[in-house]
Structure 1
Amino acid sequence: MSRKPMADPENPEWTAGDVARSKGPESLPAHVLAAFPKTAARVRGPQKSETKVPVSIRLDRSVVDYFKAQGPGWQSRINEALAGMIRR
Structure 2
Amino acid sequence: MSRDPTPTGLRRLPEPALDDPDSPELTEADFAAMRPAEAVLPPGVMAQFPNSRGRPRTATPKAHVSLRLAPDVLAHYRSLGKGWQTRIEAVLRAEMETGKRT
| TM-score under structure 2 length normalisation | 0.43
| TM-score under structure 1 length normalisation | 0.48
Which has the higher relative contact order, 1 or 2, with Cα contacts under 8 A spaced 6 or more apart?
Answer: 1
Structure with higher Rg: it is 1
